[in-house]
Structure 1
Amino acid sequence: MKMTMFKVLGTSALLSAMSVGSAFATECIAPANPGGGWDFTCRQIANIMYEVKAIDAPMQVTNMAGGGGGVAFSAVVADHNTDPDVIVAASSATTTRLAQNAYAGMTADQVRFVGAIGADPGVIVVAKDSPFQNLGDMVAAIKADPASVAFAGGSAVGGFDHMKPLQIMKAAGFNDITKIKYIGVDGGADAITQTVGGFTQAMTGDMSEIVGFIKSGDVRVLAVLTEERVPGFEDIPTAREQGFDVVAVNWRGVYVPKGISDDQFNTWATRLKAVADSEQWKTAMAENGLAPFTKVGADFQTWVDGVIADTVTLSKEIGVIQ
């Protein structure tokens, strides 16, 4: 995904805030090095929250890389459990890893998920000369001969890209998902190259990874895995409207420490909603290939709980976890 780095605040504004003793009253932890998706999420939220006056002073952004997000997760649980001024960037990768016990015994219920304010939509893609004209064609082919369709994706076996075709086939009533062929390669670019080159029959990935290939006419997108069609790509049908009730998006959002109060949780939810509603965030989404996806507050926590439960079930069925 194309990422853009932003200055959080100019020096003069920062010094002004420090003069009243309230600089960096809040902090966003990005569980990765600068430049990636979690870093992008923190820096955008920090910048926009201050711009729209959802917070009174600049927010500090702290990079805490390691363990695919596990180092930051452990630190928040151990050291910040009741800290009302800390948020942590999260995405679908966070919940997938928690579901698969990738954080060494840590569980999703040790934090509270505040909300998501944008998403990179999941997609199922074939080469332009593929015989599959729609998602139903592909599903029928897999049901008839599971070995006839191999998917390439940018995540490892059991990762988020792998889960997308499994969810679709489950929604189609096909339960022997261990027979679905999946090849994990090094990122979405390699996955689409495999498919365009005819080495696999389909690619499972995110919209941002294939925009250039859509514009060049090298691929056909069979489905976008969102609740509604994506702005700017209205000719691509959703899986839902083709009869397969699957929503799989790489959401961008935050979680907070488990031990804060409901009022403090709701304060962060209100702040995050202010970012989601801002023109600045809409511009940032458009520039970085994200689609609108706003779920904030208790409803988002409920949704995350459901996603994790589904991921656990699928992960057990394919043998990623016991």
Structure 2
Amino acid sequence: MKSFRKAALALATLALAAGPAFAFPDRPVQLIVPWAAGGGMDAVMRIFAAGFEAELKQPVNVVNRTGGGGITGHTAIANAAPDGYTVGGASPEISFFKTLGLGDLTPESIDFFSRVSVIPAGITVKADSPYKTVADYLKAAKENPKGTMMASGTGVGGSWHIASGGLLKAAGIAPDAVRWVPSNGGAPALQDLVAGGITVFTGSPIEAKGMLDAGRVRTILLMTNERHPNFPDVPSAKEAGLDWVYENWFALSAPKGIPADRRKILFEAAQRTMQREDVRKGMADRGITPIWDKPEEFAAYVKAFTERGNSVLKDLGLAKN
């Protein structure tokens, strides 16, 4: 009897050491989006979340954590418990927080999985704007006193601010000739545009699709080398004689330190998600280019992107580090 009890105790001890027997994930997963609902990243991540949910067979709850030009949400991702139940959408702004002197958060602060999409920057104006072409806009930017014209789309020093400064520089105009008005994303910036609070929105026309369809705004340029299939009537920067291409990217990320077995499950589910026809079509129908990188490719891409963006931030007089 005594030996039976010892054997039972040994089995119980082994069971406790092995931990609870369940398949990960066994409860909902949170996906943090650092930008406002209705903006470009929000649209991308909600399409992704629907497919991710199907692959994980658990609810994926999208939570918008806005503020600080993206710092609040990215910090929430970096500081989340590394148990696999929190992932996030990372945007290029994380490449520039340290340069801007806003904190020590960098791409190395979080665990990048891959880009899931890229969207091109553009110049979008109010429907009744006097600027019919990008040449009209650039002429006004050159001739008006600095700060007379205003642009928005993200926080100061954010990705769409860099897009604006780089375009102006490519046109031989001071990168800060158009004053930047910070916002918590494309959606609030577009509302400000139609209300007459700013001159242009330099984010992606993909974020402005609803307003474009309603005839409330017009996109007069895409910062690309070629015309976009979803915006065939909008000229590219190359057509306009401007040597400036700028695409924003949105990536799947997570806090560092997730156990390897759980990370593998999340990574493979995300990879399958980006192969789903409903996800790829959902993005493509909105003019969003779906993408999934090899890890080494994404690391090289982020490095080159960060260097180019930091160069523009220096030109804008915003680089602190």
Write the distance in 2 (CA, Å) between the matches of 1:64 and 1:124.
Answer: 26
- Map 1:1-322 onto structure 2 (within 5 A): 21-24=22-25, 27=29, 29-30=31-32, 44-49=47-52, 51=54, 58=58, 61=61, 63=63, 65=65, 67-75=71-79, 80=82, 87-97=87-97, 99-102=99-102, 104-128=103-127, 130=129, 132-143=131-142, 147=146, 150-174=149-173, 176-184=174-182, 187-194=188-195, 197=196, 201-226=199-224, 228-256=226-254, 271-285=269-283, 289=286, 291-297=288-294, 298-322=296-320
Write the distance in 2 (CA, Å) between the matches of 1:226 and 1:25.
Answer: 43
Q: Which amino acid aligns with 1:238?
A: S
Residue 168 of structure 1, CA deviation: 0.6
Moved more, 205-214 or 295-304: 205-214
The C-alpha deviation readout for 1:28-59, integer Å capped at 9, x for no partner, is 541559957667666644542464x5x5x547
Match for residue 16 of structure 2? none
Residue 249 of structure 1, CA deviation: 3.9
Query: Which TM-score applies when normalising by structure 2?
Result: 0.68
Write the distance in 2 (CA, Å) between the matches of 1:86 and 1:125.
Answer: 35
Relative distance call for 1:146 and 1:221 in structure 2 (3 A) is: farther
Relative distance call for 1:267 and 1:172 in structure 2 (3 A) is: farther
Q: Is the 8 A contact 2:126 2:218 kept in 1?
A: yes
Write the distance in 1 (CA, Å) between the matches of 2:265 and 2:176.
Answer: 44
The C-alpha deviation readout for 1:199-220, integer Å capped at 9, x for no partner, is 6543323324433443344543
Write the distance in 1 (CA, Å) between the matches of 2:267 and 2:250.
Answer: 14
Q: Which amino acid aligns with 1:30?
A: I
Number of residues of Structure 1 aligned to a counterpart in Structure 2: 290
Relative distance call for 1:41 and 1:28 in structure 2 (3 A) is: farther
Write the distance in 2 (CA, Å) between the matches of 1:182 and 1:153.
Answer: 6
Give percent identity, aligned residues only.
23
Residue 22 of structure 1, CA deviation: 0.9
Unaligned runs of 5+ in 1: 1-19
Residue 147 of structure 1, CA deviation: 3.7
Relative distance call for 1:34 and 1:237 in structure 2 (3 A) is: closer
The C-alpha deviation readout for 1:206-249, integer Å capped at 9, x for no partner, is 32443344334454322123465344322112223433343434
Q: Secondary structure, in 3 states, of the residue corresponding to 1:169?
A: helix
Relative distance call for 1:63 and 1:304 in structure 2 (3 A) is: same
Write the distance in 1 (CA, Å) between the matches of 2:114 and 2:298.
Answer: 6
Relative distance call for 1:44 and 1:189 in structure 2 (3 A) is: closer
Write the distance in 1 (CA, Å) between the matches of 2:49 and 2:130.
Answer: 47
Write the distance in 1 (CA, Å) between the matches of 2:92 and 2:303.
Answer: 12
Match for residue 6 of structure 2? none
Q: Which amino acid aligns with 1:281?
A: V
Match for residue 11 of structure 1? none
Q: Which amino acid aligns with 2:110?
A: V
Relative distance call for 1:147 and 1:35 in structure 2 (3 A) is: closer
Q: Is the 8 A contact 1:151 1:181 kept in 2?
A: yes
Residue 262 of structure 1, CA deviation: 11
Relative distance call for 1:205 and 1:149 in structure 2 (3 A) is: farther
Write the distance in 2 (CA, Å) between the matches of 1:217 and 1:63.
Answer: 30
Residue 90 of structure 1, CA deviation: 1.5
Residue 99 of structure 1, CA deviation: 4.7
Relative distance call for 1:49 and 1:212 in structure 2 (3 A) is: closer
Residue 166 of structure 1, CA deviation: 0.5
Q: Which amino acid aligns with 2:91?
A: S
- Greater radius of gyration (CA): 2
Unaligned runs of 5+ in 2: 1-20
